[in-house]
Amino acid sequence: MAHFHPLTVKQIKSLTPSSVAITFSIPKDLLQTFYFVPGQYITIKKEVKGKELRRAYSISSSPKSDSITIGVKKIDGGGFSDYANTKLKEGDILEVMPPEGRFVFNTSSSAKNIAAIAAGSGITPIMSIAKTVLDSNADSKFVLVYGNKSYKETMFYTDLMKLQLEYANRFFVYFTNSQTKEENSLFGRIDVSTINYALKNKHKDVSFDGYYLCGPESLITLASNTLEENDVPKDKIHFELFTTTEIKEELPVTANGKTQISVVVDDEEFSLSMDKSEIVLDAVLKENIDAPYSCQGGVCSSCIARVTEGKAEMVKNQILTDGEIEEGLILTCQAHPTTPTLKIDFDDV
Ligand code: FES
């Protein structure tokens, strides 16, 4: 299981009035540990106001760089994003977990045409994917539809303009602003017509090898439905949910009674008793067991474990495939036990 490592904040750059890009230096001896595939995220652990917070942030930099950059948008309600935007300084040290995540673009040296649809901070992993696609082959193309309220609120705007200059005729971005009518931008929220305009009209001659969607659930649903209506096969559509809240949703109580649970983490086995109505990860963390987790909202994939005995049901799952669930994998932050005994293994995933 991966562990946290102290990394130094090398640079903090303001992206918009409410977001920053944070770049970490990666010491030579950790370069291998912090190797990543474009699209992946890191988890940061930080104590804020006496409470340990863990937050997952996608990487925006290219894997070719010797540092790692993330984009952090300030969310109402404080938490780490508030701290990062107002108090964090260059030279500070943060505890960071090595990159993980399944929303990835597997680099290939052959020409690839990729389309991406993103909204708000959902642009962050797309930045890394776009740089990689464009850099890997001189014939690759990248078309991006990117929605925001206004240019002022557009994260990585300057970097996107630089990419347009650097990769003229290969990188195309369709800014879509919902609150301001501005030059070189479409007006309104991203909708079926915006997607069709960019992909079916402006780039109708391009055959896309993959589609990457990143943003809130409503955007992912709209974009994937639109692509499927255009006969795009499901296996070409990749998506990452970006919630706009750091507040954990209330989970419904669905079962009564107790479960005796055994947990394997880092080759150690622990036993505990928990209510069936409780979430497995919450019960495990209460016992101070060092299980992996990040978002606690079913959005990342840090908390996956394998059920080796008994059963657990997930309240929400947008990450695991039906095959993986059949194999016994669960998101422990979304699962509660349904049998009197349950064995889970965080190492065997
Ligand atoms: S901790 Fe992120 S999905 Fe469970």
Run of H or E residues at 195: helix 192-196
Percent of the chain clearing pLDDT 90 (strictly above): 81
pLDDT at 169: 92
pLDDT at 250: 46
Domain boundaries, the chain: 5-100, 113-241, 258-345
CA 156 – CA 20 distance, rounded (Å): 9
Rounded to the nearest whole angstrom, what is the distance from the C-alpha of residue 348 to the centroid of ligand 1? 17
Give the residue, by CA position, lying nearest to ligand 1 atom 3.
298
pLDDT in tens, 252-284: 555 689 999 999 999 999 999 999 999 999 999
pLDDT at 1: 66
295 ligand 1 Cβ < 6 A: yes
Task: Please give the CATH superfamily to which domain 5-100 belongs.
Answer: Translation factors (2.40.30.10)
122 ligand 1 Cβ < 6 A: no
Give the nearest ligand 1 atom to 300 CA: 2
Instruction: Please state, as a whole number, how many other Cβ atoms lie within 10 Å of the Cβ of residue 309.
Output: 13
The answer, yes or no, to whether residue 234 has pLDDT greater than 60, is yes
330 ligand 1 Cβ < 6 A: no
pLDDT in tens, 102-147: 999 988 778 899 999 999 999 999 999 999 999 999 999 999 999 9
pLDDT in tens, 71-91: 999 987 768 999 999 999 999
pLDDT in tens, 42-52: 999 998 888 88
Rounded to the nearest whole angstrom, what is the distance from the C-alpha of residue 243 to the centroid of ligand 1? 12
Rounded to the nearest whole angstrom, what is the distance from the C-alpha of residue 232 to the centroid of ligand 1? 29
- For domain 258-345, which architecture applies? Roll (3.10)
pLDDT in tens, 164-177: 999 999 999 999 99
Run of H or E residues at 213: strand 210-215
pLDDT at 317: 86
User: What is the DSSP secondary structure assignment for residue 247, as one 8-state letter?
Assistant: S
Contact criterion met (CB below 8 Å) for 142 and 170: yes
113-241 has which CATH code?
3.40.50.80
- The number of CA neighbours under 13 Å toward the Cβ of 3 is 6
Confidence (pTM): 0.87
